[in-house]
Structure 1
Amino acid sequence: MKTPLLITSALLLALLATIGAALPYPILAPLFAAGASNGLNTFLGLPAKLLFGLALTINPLGLLIGSALLGPMSDRYGRRPVLLVSAIGSAIGHAVTAAALVLENYPLFIIARLGTGLLEGSGSVARALLADRLDGELRRKALSWLNGAFYMGWLAGPLLAGATLQFGITTPFWVAVAALLLVAGLVAATLPPEAPRDVSASWWQVARDRHALNLLRDPDLRSLFIVTLAYTSGVTAFYEFYPLWLVEVPGYGPQGIAWTTAAMCAVMTATTVAAGRPFNGEPLLHARRYAMVVAALIATLAAGNAAVGLACIVLYGIPHACYNAIVPNYCAERFGGVHGQGAVMGLISTTFCLANILMALAGAVLTLIDTRLILLLGAGLTAWSSWRMQGLQRSMAARVERVLP
């Protein structure tokens, strides 16, 4: 496949898949926290905020498992078949979610969100596509553009949700089904068939022996995993619970949340144009500066009023986009050749999913007291990761010096 077609295909895959994942987010917070009773937010008489936290947790739990497996499986069986199964399976998951909303069936809703999450880990495979076939400055730029496509999906998804809600609460999920089927068609049309790299291994053997978490045996990757988990936990605390803050403080509904999210994602998308440019110095030291700015914005959101908080939500997109332009490319260059790009990118996605689960569980408890507490916890974790990155950079550099003759 020619390089322009490869990059274009990866960008479209990221855009369409993320649109499907982003559509539900403006819907969930008002559905559980706006005060109107329904079969979902009154299940078993549990507090609506607790049910909301569990609903947020279950999809990332599926993503955690799926991301740990899909990247390494694509290393063995090829990117094309894994992307096809992921897209079609996610489409089915969104269709079942729509049915659960109509029935107001909370257990079915949870099962559908879990199943959808299991098959939504195609981001790591798209990153591996680019990391496999590109190198140097072009790979850095392409991975930054890919981040931009993900951000554009988070922009388009909430906008579509806000625009289609007038036709019914299930309409955004049917739009997600259509988007994911387009992903499947794009994969079938543009990616050539690939021969499995290990025909002797069953899918179960690959799942058991080659999942991304095996990479934590590498001491450098393990240290980097801990630091990035702290950063990503702070980010997911922000991303999962700022919609609830928008409901409680400025009193926004689904469309207000959608427009705020769209503004934030538009800023992130625009930032990626500059974020992929070359720079001098150590990548992790650049990343730590952006992480500290993110921490400051999340803390200010928790402490500020409606106007200040809205500004923090939108401006957050700038440092976060810059951070994400650095870390995946650094991991691809330092670890991808040794462990396989699919596994490395799968570990990055797994980190994000684990952070989602941890923060959703923490938030389910803390928001019963005050929504600002989970935001302050996120700010603290992100600040710690920024502080720790400098020491990590020094220890990894020292280890390399000991190995070199």
Structure 2
Amino acid sequence: MEIQSAEAHWIQRAYEEAKENIQRKHQHGTGICSVFILDTSESKAGEGVRQLKTAFLDILNEYESLHLDDNIAVIGCGKEVKFLHYFSNNYSSIKKCLGHTAVIHPLYIRARVVVISDGNPTGLDMSSSMETSETTTDTENVASNLLERFPNEAITESVVRREYLDYDIGREETVNQVCEILNEREVYRDEVDFAEHNYKERYSDMPCVGTRVRRGCHWNYENQDNLGVGTVIGHSERIGWLHVEWDNGSRILHQFGHDGIKEKYDIRVCDEPRHIPENQQIANGCLVRKGPDWRWGNQNGSEDSIGTVYRIIPTGEVYVRWPNGNKSNYRFGYKDSYDLIMCDPRDPEVAASYRLQLKIHKQSAKGGFP
């Protein structure tokens, strides 16, 4: 790519990411904006990545201990350059992502940029690198798919072998290569690294976020679900796949429909709203109504509309999908404010109202409701 076209590409990319940052409703502070650019290239694989992550987390811990109110964004810079988290002062939520000048109200604030790298660039001509090697494409694809499908689960050798059966390349050498890649990438599989884009709805013919599910006719995941119920929390960028959080806490990527190669149904939609869990204020799959601090007009559709929680932010924020298809984030404990109240699905009135609403709105969300 020529220098001029490359420059135009990154200017356009910066413009698009700036718009995305403005559209999000992240919690913001009044301090300066700092951008962390983390080197995730192949030269830092293994111990280098662990050191990078330790340093970054130490810095965030320092921000929290000093009660700073700065906004931080993080960019991952390696085989793929992308925003992993936009500007926010919610340090417990921050993973990796963004940079440039931030706009807050009418004020322009110059961003402070922090780069964490080993100083060794991965060149375009380094054919031996995993980032450009054609000989490791299959291995990387399988490892990447496994990490996406099991974001916070231990991936055993038997799981790797089972995945390779689908690719018809079950050689011992390649299985070992995948296991090595997974061991090196283990540092990326923390709960906080579940990326923002995984919570999006992308396909109208897939179950919508908040839909309750059980294992389906093509289930092949041992007992990862504890024979229980889960909640759809997002659609994968891979066609035919979606993210499910099971009530036991496991998050797994499952196939639902045709992915361009084959048609499988790892899960099936069920009508089992989540009961309010013990020792938790709220959980994904729980039912909610507007609460005492509600100030969002008719966003929920009606006065007694019942929505489903599909994402929880530890600082007192939850994301809800309403039967009319609207989705947004709401306060549930943030600064002692509650936009929502919990609904007990065992209450006959709640159960009847919930099912009636689903029936009314089902036409507008194909495949999206129990």
Q: Which has the higher relative contact order, 1 or 2, with Cα contacts under 8 A spaced 6 or more apart?
A: 1
Question: TM-score, normalising length from structure 1?
Answer: 0.25
Normalized per residue, the structure richer in helix is 1
Question: TM-score, normalising length from structure 2?
Answer: 0.26
Normalized per residue, the structure richer in strand is 2
Structure with the greater alpha carbon radius of gyration: 2
